[in-house]
Amino acid sequence: MNFLKGKATIVQLQWLIWIAVYFIIFFSIAPVDGVPQALSFTTISVAFYILVIYGNIKFLFPDFYEKGHKLAYVIFVIILLVGGGLARGYLIIFISNKFMATGKPEVMTFAMATNFVIAGCLNFMLSFVFRIAIAYFSLKQQSEKILAQKTYAELNLLKSQVQPHFLFNTLNNIYYEAYREAPRTAGLIERLSDIMRYFVDESPKDEVSMQTEVSFIENYIALEKIRIRHKTDISFVKEYNAESRIPPMLLMTFVENIFKHGIDKSSKENKIEISLIQQEGFLLFQTCNRIHDKVSKEEPHGFGIENLRKRLTMLYGTKFELNIEKNGGHTFTAFLKVPIL
């Protein structure tokens, strides 16, 4: 149980409070009235206190007062206090007369009834203190739970960082081994390492430098080229400020689509044109590739472009341009214009 571990729940705390209240009342009157009468009086009284407090904070207050039915709330509170107080008084007197009276039976008087109702009013006021206390402990437990989740997330983050860094170090070792025997292979390993480092260190950020994003694209292109059988004519025009900022992975959808849909791996006539121009506060990015017969049936855009459009809308509202065109059925052009950060 959480209580045994020093982490009592809200319900367990309430049980502890009522048990404490029960024993306080019982031991305060038992020496004077005796154990049987103390037991009956305490049991009936605590039950009445519970009725008033929980009847108000669990039912009347949220269902009537908080919903704007204030007059109905006042009426039901009066019924609860008067009816419950009188029921408590008559029940105590009945049990006392029936089982414990040794002389003349006790009769309910106006003064006694008033005292029972007033005691109910005091408990009614106490119910708000009880409500605040429950809300406080609930909030405290939620805060502790959030803190524990945060600590757990930070621990997982540290674990997730250890594993990629181990992989990066291993790739570096393989790179140095490969560099002596096959420099070209070593260069590809280095590019793969840079791409993985980008995914781990840069992609979670809100924005990255243009130089970082361009290096990522160049590494991606270099690795894709080794999967193509014949030499591919790739032109990449770049005119930008290296320190400008851009959301990560914003341009990759176009580049991915080129290698998914714009390349015929068996053809010697693959040609790709990419341009990235920074101009008057905007970034202009365009890709153009041939449409091959073998891949023309595949749609060169779909979920990737639609997801990119949604992301652009979230980032820039209406301050962007995204155009996809098929030019005469021979070339496919994608154009993006976004404000530079």
pLDDT in tens, 72-83: 989 998 998 888
Q: Is the pLDDT of residue 302 over 60?
A: no
pLDDT value, residue 4: 47
- Both tokens assigned to 119: 């005691």
Number of H helices, E strands in the chain: 8, 7
pLDDT for residue 176: 67
**pLDDT score for 16:** 87
Q: How many residues does the chain have?
A: 341
Give the pLDDT confidence of 245-295 residue by residue, as tens digits: 999 888 888 888 888 877 776 677 788 899 999 998 899 999 998 876 655
Q: Tokens 């990737």 — which residue?
A: 304
Q: What angle do helix axes 303-316 and 252-261 make, rounded to 10 degrees? A: 170
Q: What CA–CA distance (Å, rounded) separates 187 from 185?
A: 5
CATH 3.30.565.10 positions along the chain are: 228-339
Q: Decide if 225 contacts 232 (C-beta within 8 A).
A: yes
Digit-coded pLDDT (tens) for 169-183? 666 667 766 776 778
Tokens 């851009």 label which residue? 246
Note if the pTM is more than 0.75.
no
Query: What is the dotted CATH code of the domain comprising 228-339?
Result: 3.30.565.10
CA dist 123 and 54 (Å) reads 10
- pLDDT tens, residue by residue, 224-252: 888 777 777 888 999 999 889 999 888 88
